[in-house]
Amino acid sequence: MRSVEEQQARVAAAAVAPRPVRVAIAEAQGLMCAEEVVTERPMPGFDQAAIDGYAVRSVDVLGVSDDGDADESSNGEISLPVMGLIEAGARTPSRLQPRQAARVQTGAPMPTLADAVLPLRWTDGGQNRVRVLRGVRSGAYVRRTGDDVQPGDVAVRAGTIIGPAQVGLLAAVGRDRVLVHPRPRLSVMCVGGELVDVSRTPGTGQVYDVNSYALAAAGRDAGAEVNRVGIISTDPGELRETVEGQVNRNEIVVIAGAVGGAAAESVRTVLAELGEMEVARIAMHPGSVQGFGQLGRDRVPVFLLPANPVSALVVFEVMVRPLIRLSLGKRQPMRRVVQARTLSPISSVAGRTGYLRGQLMRDQDSGEYLVQALGGTPGASTHLLATLAEANCLVVVPSEAEQIRTGETVDVAFLAQRG
């Protein structure tokens, strides 16, 4: 029986990163930048007012103290004539004369000779003439040309995950498209004569196809571009054509229901014609029996998952999700793990790492993490989908542990936060 870590290493070695593509910056969020974005122009491209106020020469207003009084050299109160209003977006150059002010909006170009902006709150707000209540120093409330970036600066580095700030910076430097590592394409399909789509009413002996919907959602949550194929035929000719087509157009393929029973045996026979495929027992539960291989001319990673929806989702979480994250270029493909104290006893299977559903919470006073097991209490079933829907974490039970007592500390992997 192979360990979980050994199987994860085999899977990680098969990671296939899609070729970088150029996309609109509005579509780049969450993806890894694949180029060094070098700025060609300074930002801002001109001296501009950082706040609403009056553009002035600082030497004309420095004689006013913080309490609003003029010093002895100012010969009394300082007031300046206002030459007009300069709006944000103004394109006509303007020039300030000595002992003159110009009303400016935030983002407006500074007039020539002005070296500071006098905030409105430090004036009487006059329109034709403004009384100065407090002076400013040179450069105050002015965004100078190139303050943010200079030509030749790197705005976004290769390997950076593009978030809202990076999208904004790309727009600010005039880039409408950027080279990124795209989302890996994931195909999800299921086999099983008992399966019917949720749009139909199941007859005697039939059940809804849960896996293709649940696994497709898990793939999207991990960051993949997902194609849910749904239920596929086990006829050898049709099966080969379907799988071969999906392998040729995706970076990862998942087939649920293909590791147990006669139908699964025929599926594995067909897949063996397309490349290397191995079904093995992995020292984990649920989902110990699973398959992994590389098919097609590009040796695309293909996973065979159990038919049970809980087992399939757990195997996806432990094996498939990290591969998707690696293909996205994530440096840390695994979920965040914290230590939590158990609120109830947990049973596990000796010799296998357990991945059991749980509800993670935090003590408001001590800040300690606490976890309530949902699927690992003595006598409980490990195959109830309803409890997985209630879980916000997976309790990771070491392979050497068969019983975890109340109050003991265990590793807990965060699942996606629910709104």
Tell me if 16 is assigned to some domain.
Answer: no
User: In the predicted model, is pLDDT for residue 290 greater than 90?
Assistant: yes
* CATH code of residue 27: 3.90.105.10
Q: How many domains does the chain have?
A: 4
Does residue 212 share a domain with residue 132?
no
Does residue 162 share a domain with residue 38?
yes
Tell me if 98 is assigned to some domain.
Answer: yes
The model carries a pTM of 0.74
Does residue 409 share a domain with residue 358?
yes
Distances from the Cα of 282 to the Cα of 190, 252, 260, 318, 353, angstroms: 21, 20, 14, 11, 9
Tell me if 419 is assigned to some domain.
Answer: no
Does residue 156 share a domain with residue 122?
no
Tell me if 8 is assigned to some domain.
Answer: no
pLDDT digits (tens, 9 = 90+) for 137-159: 999 999 998 887 788 888 899 88
Does residue 249 share a domain with residue 379?
no
Tell me if 5 is assigned to some domain.
Answer: no
Domain end among 328, 354, 371: 328
- DSSP 8-state class, residue 379: T
% of residues, the chain, pLDDT over 90: 59
pLDDT digits (tens, 9 = 90+) for 98-111: 999 999 999 999 99
Domain end among 328, 354, 384: 328
Give Cβ neighbours of residue 186 (< 8 Å, ≥ 6 apart).
216, 219, 224, 225, 226, 227, 250, 251, 252, 253, 254, 324
Which residues span the domain enclosing 379? 337-414
pLDDT digits (tens, 9 = 90+) for 265-288: 888 889 999 999 999 999 999 999
Does residue 353 share a domain with residue 312?
no
Does residue 216 share a domain with residue 74?
no
Does residue 321 share a domain with residue 285?
yes
Rounded Cα distance, 234 and 191, in Å: 7
Tell me if 292 is assigned to some domain.
Answer: yes
Does residue 256 share a domain with residue 367?
no
Does residue 124 share a domain with residue 35?
no
